Amino acid sequence: MLHLSRKQKLHRERPDSEAGFTLVELLVVLAILAMLATFAGPQVLRYLGKARTDAARVQISAIVSSLELFALDNGGYPTEEMGLNALVRPPAGLPRWNGPYIKKADGLIDPWGRPYNYKAATPGQIQVFTLGRDNTPGGTGEDQDVTN
């Protein structure tokens, strides 16, 4: 006579229909997850867009602070030709450059992967901005321009 272990006996006594999840149960769970994603997805995307815009505001504020430190050391803001890279690498002809004023050049890239725009409008007046997700002037939501 064959001796079976207790585990083998329990396995033999259990009907095969209780062995796991049925296809219908899995489809019901997938349908519920799809419905949740349908309702929650747009809200999550809206928060993500707002987070990128908020991140751009914070980054621009940090860049402007770095530009002010640059101006204190060098007697003025970088020219448009020097651009924001003057905060990371010393431009030619500035012996009092005491940077880098921003640790990484990645800090000069907006949340949409494009370099921030820089304009030195008049002496003492600067503008740092991004055109948002759509990279065109104007817009609302995630497409809005963010400036200092």
Give the pLDDT band (50/70/90) at residue 38. Answer: confident
pLDDT computed for residue 118 by the predictor: 93
Give the pLDDT band (50/70/90) at residue 69. Answer: very high
23 within a domain of the structure (yes/no): no
Residues near 73 by beta carbon (within 8 Å), at least 6 away in sequence: 96, 97, 98, 99
Average pLDDT over residues 78-85: 91
25 within a domain of the structure (yes/no): no
pLDDT computed for residue 65 by the predictor: 92
What does the mean pLDDT of the chain come to?
82
Give the pLDDT band (50/70/90) at residue 133. Answer: confident
59 within a domain of the structure (yes/no): yes
Residues of the chain above pLDDT 70, percent: 82
Per the CB < 8 A criterion, the answer to whether 143 and 132 are in contact is yes
Which CATH number characterizes residue 46's domain? Answer: 3.30.700.10
pLDDT tens, position by position, 28-37: 889 888 888 7
pLDDT computed for residue 73 by the predictor: 92
pLDDT computed for residue 18 by the predictor: 60
pLDDT computed for residue 70 by the predictor: 92
pLDDT computed for residue 10 by the predictor: 54
Average pLDDT over residues 65-85: 91
- Count: domains in the chain: 1
Domain range for 139 is 40-147
